[in-house]
Amino acid sequence: MFNAALKITEVYMIRKISLSALTVSMFASLVSAGIGFDGVGISDLRQEISNMDVAAPAEAVENGLPPNWLMGNKTPKEWTIMVFVNGKNDLEPFAMKDMNEMEMVGSSDKVNIVVETGRIAGYDNSDGDWKGTRRFLMTKDKNASKVTSKVVQDLGKVDMGDYKSVMAFGNWAKANYPAKKYMLIVWNHGSGWEKGLGSARMNKGISYDEETGNHLDTPQLGLALKGMGGVNVYGSDACLMQMAEVDYELKDSVEYIVGSEETEPGDGYTYNTFLAPVVARPAMTPAELAKVAVDAYSDHYKAQREGSTQSYIKAAAVPKLLTLSNAFVSAVINSGDKALVRNARDGAMKYAIEENKDLYDFARLVVEGTKNAEVKKAGNELMTFITTELVMHNRTNNSEGGWGGVVKYSLSKGIAVYLPSSVAGPGYSALQWAKVSNWDDLITWMNQR
């Protein structure tokens, strides 16, 4: 999903338990539920507790007694899938659609599907046209046009462009819906690492909140994942996020990273086809779940005859990407062949932000055009590593037309990188990738006249 100014793709239960009293052992649960205690007296606290609705899976309520998980004795499920749905922008209609897709599957006794969704006025009036930010435990239903999962928490106004909001959601979900394995999906517009696009020089990244004008940049996304203790699988249901610059920022807080090199259509993930296999086989490993996410996405757009890219990478391999890309950059710069490198940059597989290029395709063009043995050796090692150790699964669908014409996405091998035709954009030097890699040296060198 892409920023509205840049978007060039087609945009097309729980039972409540009313608590009248609570023991001291429940105090931590109240904090995690978002109740503020600053300046609150005992009488105020009692009133707040009496008004509080705490959601529990319907099957967990037996003989009218509070379920074990409510009392802090929560048995971990196999998976908790957390989806941070920032619909506070022009993608709001798709937010409601995707929540209904989640309800086609719903949570189970082995899998939690937990969602935080934000909405604002002006884009969609479905489902009662509610506003603000709410948390849900998604439950199965047959109503494809209405979200029937009960609200676990109504948070009111939340800045969904603040990394602390993502972090708070993750920590809350882990505390209240523990599992052996976790996936976090950030749902919204995305623009890779970029901090400057077109004439409007503003920060870019992911999760744009039009109400506050805020969003997460790439370092902040890394902070959010770190602050929630990491996850097994991270997925960007957003455009242009599968980049070396982004993956390097996240590598220490995740096992596998799912994302797209290209823009995503407004429909994004098809959650029913993604979640159904997970609920059917909850014991699947993080790598298996990441593959299911890639395949569900690609299968959907293949059936739609729409161009797409989607891959998942192994985060533990990212440090070796740094080593091999540094060796490649050093060999290229030492060769002195700027003309070749510029031609490779210009000819490499590009995306909606044309400065984003497929890393493998760029290296391929350099290797095919050079006579320098060191460049060939370093380039071939980098390409082999990308396809055998870094990118664990890659799917593409060629575009047969539409806004971008015919596009051969099969040239995409699963990870993009920043290759501008001028100096690096604002904010690039703040990225961990730029600080420790030689990539910024390559950008500077090849653009010197």
Q: Which of 41, 71, 101 is the C-terminal boundary of a domain? A: 71
Using the predicted structure, report yes or no on whether residue 2 has a pLDDT greater than 70.
no
pLDDT at 41: 38
Residue 268 in any domain: the answer is: yes
pLDDT at 69: 39
3-state secondary structure the chain: CCCCCCCCCCCCCEEEEECCCCCHHHHHHHHHCCCCCCCCCHHHHHHHHHCCEEEEEHHHCECCECCHHHHCCCCCEEEEEEEEEEECCCCHHHHHHHHHHHHCCCCCCCEEEEEEEEECCCCCCCHHHCCEEEEEECCCCCCCCCCCCCEEEEEECCCCCCHHHHHHHHHHHHHHCCEEEEEEEEECCEECECCCECCECCCCCEEEECCCCEEECHHHHHHHHHHCCCEEEEEEECCCCCEHHHHHHHHHHEEEEEECCCCCCCCCCCHHHHHHHHHHCCCCCHHHHHHHHHHHHHHHHHHCCCCEEEEEEEHHHHHHHHHHHHHHHHHHHHHCCHHHHHHHHHHCCECCCCCEEEHHHHHHHHHHHCCCHHHHHHHHHHHHHHHHHHEEEEEEECEECHHHCEECHHHCCCCEEECCCCCCCCCHHHCHHHHHCCHHHHHHHHHCC
| 426-439: pLDDT as tens digits | 889 999 999 999 99
CB 203 within 8 A of CB 163: no
* Range 168-187 burial, b when 16+ CB lie within 10 A, else e: bbbebbbebbebebbbbbbb
| 190-217: pLDDT as tens digits | 444 444 333 333 435 788 888 888 888 8
Same domain as 246, residue 219: yes
Same domain as 344, residue 238: no
- Give dist(CA 346, CA 159) in Å, integer: 39
Same domain as 303, residue 189: yes
Most confident of 88-92, 95-99, 187-191, 237-241: 95-99
Instruction: Return the higher-pLDDT residue of 376 and 204.
Output: 376
Same domain as 299, residue 376: no
pLDDT at 15: 26
Residue 94 in any domain: the answer is: yes
CB 246 within 8 A of CB 359: no
Mean pLDDT of the chain: 82
pLDDT at 404: 60
User: What predicted TM-score, i.e. pTM, was given to this entire model?
Assistant: 0.81
- Give dist(CA 370, CA 405) in Å, integer: 31
- Give dist(CA 179, CA 135) in Å, integer: 18
Same domain as 332, residue 299: no
Give the pLDDT band (50/70/90) at residue 266: low
Residue 370 in any domain: the answer is: yes
- Give dist(CA 210, CA 208) in Å, integer: 6
Q: At 27, phi and psi to the nearest 5?
A: -60, -45
pLDDT at 199: 32
Over residues 16-29, the mean pLDDT reads: 33
pLDDT at 264: 82
Same domain as 169, residue 23: no
Using the predicted structure, report yes or no on whether residue 17 has a pLDDT greater than 90.
no
Same domain as 374, residue 264: no
Residue 4 in any domain: the answer is: no
- Give dist(CA 54, CA 160) in Å, integer: 23
Residue 6 in any domain: the answer is: no
Distances (CA, A) of 316 to 10, 98, 211, 233, 250: 35, 31, 37, 12, 10
HSE-CB at 249 with a 13 A cutoff on CA atoms is 25
Q: Which of 71, 104, 119 is the C-terminal boundary of a domain? A: 71
Instruction: Return the higher-pLDDT residue of 401 and 82.
Output: 82
Same domain as 218, residue 88: yes
Full residue range of the structural domain in which residue 187 is found: 77-315
Q: Which residues contact 393 (CB under 8 A, 6 or more apart)?
A: 290, 291, 294, 295, 311, 312, 414
Over residues 147-161, the mean pLDDT reads: 94
CB 330 within 8 A of CB 401: no
Same domain as 105, residue 254: yes
**Residue 151 token pair:** 């609200």
CB 318 within 8 A of CB 255: no
Over residues 105-117, the mean pLDDT reads: 97
Same domain as 240, residue 106: yes
Same domain as 363, residue 283: no
Q: Of all residues in the chain, what percent carry a pLDDT higher than 70?
A: 79
Residue 2 in any domain: the answer is: no
Residue 354 in any domain: the answer is: yes
Q: Which residues contact 159 (CB under 8 A, 6 or more apart)?
A: 165, 209, 211, 212, 214
Q: At 263, phi and psi to the nearest 5?
A: -60, 155
